[in-house]
Amino acid sequence: MALAVWNYVNGVALAQVSEQLLDASPGERPSGLADLIAGRVTSRLPHLSTLSDAAEAARLNDPRALLDAGVDYLCAGFEAKAASSTS
């Protein structure tokens, strides 16, 4: 039960934070990650320039892909914990 509550709380928080970081508000100048990937940002940092106009980076804006990746990381953590406790 505690694990289910923990997963729910962290999943909701992760979704809210990622939504705020990725989405740009309509009235703002383009500066979010979604704008960078779409190529709408005029000033690009050198270490982020590879994300600009990159089709493979578009998955960073896909909520389902983010959720799937989060579940994969969670499962990998549980698997690592189980493996370390049996050793």
pLDDT digits (tens, 9 = 90+) for 30-82: 667 777 777 777 666 676 777 766 767 777 777 888 888 889 989 999 999 88
Average pLDDT over residues 4-17: 60
- At which residue do the structure tokens 């600009």 appear? 52
Predicted pLDDT of residue 26? 56
Predicted pLDDT of residue 19? 60
Predicted pLDDT of residue 30? 62
Predicted pLDDT of residue 17? 56
Instruction: Measure the N-to-C terminal CA separation of the chain; round to a whole number of Å.
Output: 26
Of 83, 82, 66, 77, the C-alpha closest to 14 is 66
Whole-model pTM?
0.41
